[in-house]
Structure formats: structure tokens, C-alpha cells
Amino acid sequence: MTQSPLEPMACSLVEDAVRRGATAAEVIAWEGDEFSVGVRMGRIERLKEATSKSLGLRVFVGTSSASAFTSDFTPASLDKLVSRASEMARVTSADPLAGLAEPDALGQYQGELALYSEDVSEVSTAQRIEMAARAEAAAFQVDPRIVNSEGASLESGVTVKVYVNSYGFSGAYRSSYCAVSATPVAEAAGASGKRLERDYWYSVARSVAALESPESIGRKAAERALRRLGARKVATRRVPVVFDPETAASLLGNVFEALRGDAIYRRASFLAGCLGQKIAAETVTITDDGVRPGGLGSRPFDDEGVCSGVTPVVVQGVLQNYLLNSYTARKLGLRTTGNAVRGPAGPPSVGPKNFYLHGGPHSPEEIIRSVKNGLYVTELIGFGVNVVTGDYSRGAAGQWIENGQLTYPVAEVTIAGNLAEMLHGIRMVGSDLEFRGPVAAPTLLLEGLTVGGA
């Protein structure tokens, strides 16, 4: 159990709101430390350190609600917070399904989640700077064509989160993270002068000890930048596309957006009305796991106090569950899956815990070998995904596959399709699942995409 002075403060705010006429109330609060150092060309470029706090109150008057937030915890400011939220809740609309999460869903996961590690606070500033510098130096050592750098960084933080509501739930937990990244720049002579390419690599974890070594991060970043040199466009055509784990996770993030309860009840998703149906190839199984030890999306309870657990989302291609908070669950006549997330402002939204696509039987090499002509995608840019229609069109960069071999780098192309068809078109699933963020996927081979180029 985490102790925080924010917890009694949150409790008294909830009590105060109820005393002043709220029929229900909740408070979410954070306090935390953040640290970051950026190193470029072997020298510190920026050093940042701070502590901050924030608190949000939501009150219900019957089925109307309003919220207020502040970073000013003085008594006068908190008094105004309660009075303004209460006043505003009298003029918003009555929404019959608005409210806190059901009392029987509230609770805290009791197992060990390993969300906090002492080493994140213990490592000295000098060591942090050195880790970032080592990552950058390692990138420069890979190849003389690494001529410049956007820098390397170490970022870390410790946060205590508190949630209290008028059903008597009160909980707090502490979490930490640490991330190291490097972004080297490679240069090569091209037909029209010098061409620059940059790429990055990173590692992020709940503890410093769980990070990839700075040298390994720097080397991978350099290799990724080097392999982009000499990139060219390819002709427009429909070919198989292999997503590496980073871009596959991005694609899976689009699927998450389409499975959010708010998109479903508003019919603002191509997956609305698909519960129980086959929405993807049989090779696809997706789970949302809130209790994976050390997971970057793990938590003992969600931002409505709902106990964390594991939600099967897609099993062998069949949609088993949407991702819900209590409001969207009531709208759909379902039970919350504990996916409430919120900032200090406004009502809870829906966010992933550890949302991942299960690894399959194929090594990434085997997947690439199976492609006669196709694109291996290592970067996606832009926002061309519409989860209402499923239309998918993004900028891409990667390597061209010919006869099962990576041949030359490709850039300035698009890949386009429709998510509904793309999910059915997942032909092979890689064995290389790694949790590098709250959303994770292994290498995937998809059919039915159009590569747009020359």
C-alpha cells in the first residue's frame, strides 16, 4: 500500500462536495517528480528536473455532472473547486446513465505489480547523464557514416496516483519509469547531393535495471539510420506488407481505438455491432492485461477505482470484448472492463492497459522469407486512419523484399487499405512479441494493402 498525503485531502474534498449537495463525487490526484537529460555530440544539451501535482474533482447532482481541476492546493483554491463543480453540475444535461462505477466493480488488485522501483530515484544525476552519453557514443562508433546526432536522452519519473469516490473507495499507488533513447543521423552522397537519414531506438521500463544497455540502444539506432540511406520510391502496386513490431504495435493501437466503448456506443467505429463475430484472421488473438508485473500499462485499479484484471479481446479472430469504462459499459448493457483513464479535466475516457497481440509460431526471418515481392515497413507517419470507416492510409518507410530477402530501402511511399479487411488479411504472426509500451505486437504479414509510390 502506498501512503500519500494526497489521499486524506482527496477524501475530505469528496466529503465536502457531498456535504454541499452532490449526490456522488470522485477525486483523482497525482504528484510526481520528473527528470530528463538530453546529450548531444557528447555534451549536455538540456537538464530538467521538477516536481508537480494536479487534482481533479467530478461531482454528480442526480444524473448531471461537472468537473474542476487545479494545480493550486491552497484551501481557498480547493474551496472554489468544490463550489464551481457543484454549481456547474446544476446546469449540465441530465444523462440517465451517468455515474460512478458500480460498487461491486470497485477494488484493488492484490498481487505484485512491480510498478515502482527504487533504482529510478537512486541512480545519481551523473550516472543518468552518463547513460545518455553512452547511448549516443555507441551510435557514433557503429559506422563513419553516422556523422551527426539529434541527441540521446534519459527521462525518468515517479508518480503517486490517488483515487477516492463517495462509494467509499480510496486507493493510491506509486509507479516509476525510466527511458533511454538515441537519435543518430547518417549521411551518404546521393545523385542530388548529400542525403541525411535519422532514426532512433529506445528502451523504457519501470526500473533502470530492466533497461536495455545504452550501448545496445545506440547501436540499434545507428543501424536503423544506416539502413535507410539511399532510400527510393517504388512503383504503385498491391503487395504483401510485413509490419515490424514497432509498426505492428502502431496498427494494433488503431484497432484499440476502434474497440473503445465510446466509439462503439456512438457507432463511430467499423467494429460497432461486431461482438461475437469473426473480425480477424484465426491467427489473431488479442488480450488486454492490466496486471502484468512491471507492465507499462499495469495498474491495481483504473481511474474509476475498478479492480484491474485480464480481458480477452479477440480469440482466434473472434471478438470477445470491447474495452469499456463504467459509462460506456452501461450504454452498451455490458460490464466495465476497467479501462477508465482520465486526466484531471473532464470525465473518464477509455485507454489500454497492456493491450497486445499474442506471438505466433513464425520467426521474423521466416516471415520475410515467405514474401516474393513486398514491403517490410519499419516506420509509419501521419494520421490517415479513420476508425469510423476503417479507412487506412499512412506514410511509410522500410525495406523492399525480393525473393524473401531485404534488398534496398524504400521511402516516400504510402500504404493503404481498410482496417476491416486488413485484420482478416493477417497471414502470419511473428514469435517476436516484446512489451515496449502499453500496446505491443509481434511482426505481422498482411495481404491486401496498396503501396502508393511513383
d(CA 315, CA 331): 24
Q: Which residues pair with 37 in a beta bridge?
A: 47, 154
Taking CB under 8 A as the rule, which mask of x and - marks residues 95-134 in contact with another protein?
x--x--------------------------x---------
Phi and psi angles of residue 159, each rounded to the nearest 5 degrees, phi first: -130, 140
Indicate whether 344 belongs to the interface with another protein (CB under 8 A). Answer: yes
**Minimum distance of another protein from residue 107's CB (angstroms):** 26
Pick 107 or 384: Cβ nearer another protein: 384
Strands 24-40 and 146-165: antiparallel
Indicate whether 68 belongs to the interface with another protein (CB under 8 A). Answer: yes
Pick 265 or 356: Cβ nearer another protein: 265
Among 209, 388, 402, 408, contact with another protein (rule: CB under 8 A): 388
Indicate whether 75 belongs to the interface with another protein (CB under 8 A). Answer: no
Pick 188 or 310: Cβ nearer another protein: 188
Indicate whether 391 belongs to the interface with another protein (CB under 8 A). Answer: yes
Pick 3 or 125: Cβ nearer another protein: 125
Dump the DSSP string for 101-170.
PPGGGB----S------THHHHS-HHHHHHHHHHHHHHHHHH-TTEEEEEEEEEEEEEEEEEEEETTS-E
Per CB under 8 A, contacts with another protein among 255-274 are 266-268, 270
C-alpha cell at 397: 518507410
SS3 (DSSP) at 344: coil
Work out the burial of residue 276: count CB atoms within 10 Å of its CB; fewer than 13 is exposed, 13-18 middle, 19 or more buried.
exposed
The site that binds another protein (CB under 8 A) totals a number of residues, namely: 82
- Dihedral of CA atoms 294, 297, 303, 309 in degrees, nearest 10, equals -80
Among 22, 100, 231, 251, contact with another protein (rule: CB under 8 A): 231
Pick 120 or 291: Cβ nearer another protein: 120
Among 130, 412, 431, 436, contact with another protein (rule: CB under 8 A): 412
Pick 114 or 179: Cβ nearer another protein: 179
82-112: buried (b, 16+ CB within 10 Å) or exposed (e) per residue? Answer: bebbbebbeeeeeeeebbbbeeebbbbbeee
Indicate whether 334 belongs to the interface with another protein (CB under 8 A). Answer: no
Per CB under 8 A, contacts with another protein among 190-219 are 195-198
> Near another protein by CB under 8 A, which window of 210-218, 307-315, 394-402, 434-442?
394-402
Pick 393 or 443: Cβ nearer another protein: 393
Per CB under 8 A, contacts with another protein among 292-321 are none
Pick 1 or 76: Cβ nearer another protein: 76
Indicate whether 189 belongs to the interface with another protein (CB under 8 A). Answer: no
Per CB under 8 A, contacts with another protein among 38-57 are 40, 43-54, 56
**Minimum distance of another protein from residue 171's CB (angstroms):** 23
**Minimum distance of another protein from residue 80's CB (angstroms):** 8
Angle subtended at Cα 426 by Cα 440 and Cα 252, rounded to the nearest 5 degrees: 25
Indicate whether 413 belongs to the interface with another protein (CB under 8 A). Answer: yes
**Minimum distance of another protein from residue 214's CB (angstroms):** 20
Half-sphere exposure of 239 (CA within 13 A, CB side): 26
Residues 6+ apart with CB under 8 A from 213: none
Pick 16 or 289: Cβ nearer another protein: 16
C-alpha cell at 240: 504483401
- Dihedral of CA atoms 108, 110, 115, 120 in degrees, nearest 10, equals 120
**Minimum distance of another protein from residue 87's CB (angstroms):** 8
Pick 133 or 451: Cβ nearer another protein: 451
Cβ neighbours, 10 Å, residue 232: 14
Residue 82 near residue 70, CB atoms below 8 Å: no
